[in-house]
Amino acid sequence: MSTPGRLPIGLSSALAWVGAVALVALTIVLYLAGDGPWPAGAIVRACIVPGALAAIAWAMQRPRPTAGLAAYAAYAASLLVVFVAAGGPDATRELSRQAAFLAVLAATAAPLPVPRGALLGVHVGCLLLVWLQLAGPRSAYDTIGRAGFYHTLEHWSGYPELGLLMAVATCAMVAFAWAARPPLVRVAGLALALAFAAATVFLRSRSAVVTIPIVVAWLLGVAAVKWRSKAAAAVLALGLIGATAIAVRGGGVGALMSRAAETVTRETAIREQGWRAAREMFADHPLVGVGLGGYRREYYERRLGADATHAYNIVLHVLAESGAIGLLGWLALWARVLYVGVRHAGPTPRGAAIFALHGMLVAFLLRSQSEHFLANLATSDRLLLLVALWIGLSEGLALDAARLTPAVGAAGEPAQESAAS
């Protein structure tokens, strides 16, 4: 008889090993593999099938974990309702993309024979390899001195997507350094955070640069409230004092607000057309939108302009394509994701890993308020599956923590976590 909460020996263990190897391969492909003679999209699809085998191992587990299933079921149900009600020529492809998203998420959250901390380490290592290639000799510079063409990273298109990756990596390392306990690990985390943050400045990705301090403030706020961390509260206070000093030296709050308003006006002008188009689509189809994947087609049919890529805002894009029903499912998914990160973060190896993933997901969500990286871009399939991996790792770590909670050591302390968990 198998131990509750663990994989039974036999078929499910074999499937889990195959799934774990596939997940590592999928991670490396998503970050590093160029399109080349074998398009990365085809490799990704090939990795999804064995990766989903781990989900079978999850389904074979007894007792089967059910935490969070309601949120993901609500998201899947909302997609199916919109697919049936709105239809459209692009709906089948988009539904298959979302099915791949949920399959990879489930596979990553399933019981695995390797520590999830090691899988998170693969992500960090791949992000570091991306960082090392940014200023390579094959990068080309545009008219304002920004390296806008990264020939060794062509599969990441350009600075918006690379800026997103660097911002996500920065926030992950800040969170990990704050929650980790060994001093050497903290120093290493902070060093990596500074390196990744410097990359966003090098890329001149303004939105990514703005994302980092906002997410860091959120992470410090979580630490100050959840762990009653006086250090986090002190750093937040120092940050506020520093921002005030910068405002005074920059000509006062009025001058700073004026420059900020100019920047907001410029950035808004770039995105306003997409925002307006999404609002119009939602107003005409409030319940189920224009159909899954239908934004671009509807944009052209309405002759709204030249930029039909996306709505420049993930929430507005969801509203345009799937209406209020789709948005409710999307909100259920992201509410669950953010809850897991806050609820299970802690000053333990596993809690630090969950907090790092929370930082990544919050950074992605915040950056997506002025962009939509998951639709109609060359990099959209990569990012959709990366988000699935991040969410799945977070859920899996939370499930692992829940399994250990009832186990109590001889001294009455919770069961010890492995350093690699």
φ, ψ for residue 250 (rounded to 5)?
-85, 10
Say if residues 352 and 180 touch (Cβ distance below 8 Å): yes
- Which tens digits make up the pLDDT trace of 304-335? 777 888 889 999 999 999 999 999 999 999 99
- pTM comes to 0.87
- Which tens digits make up the pLDDT trace of 149-180? 566 788 887 778 999 999 999 999 999 999 99
Interatomic CA distance for residues 145 and 140, integer angstroms: 9
Residues 194-201 have a mean pLDDT of: 93
Q: What is the pLDDT of residue 420?
A: 38
321-354: buried (b, 16+ CB within 10 Å) or exposed (e) per residue?
A: bbbebbbbbbbbbbebbeebbeebbeebbbbbbb
CA geometry: angle 173, 174, 176, nearest 5 deg? 60
The domains of the chain are located at 11-401
Highest mean pLDDT among 37-46, 115-124, 268-277: 115-124
Q: What is the pLDDT of residue 411?
A: 37
- At 200, list the tokens: 């966003």
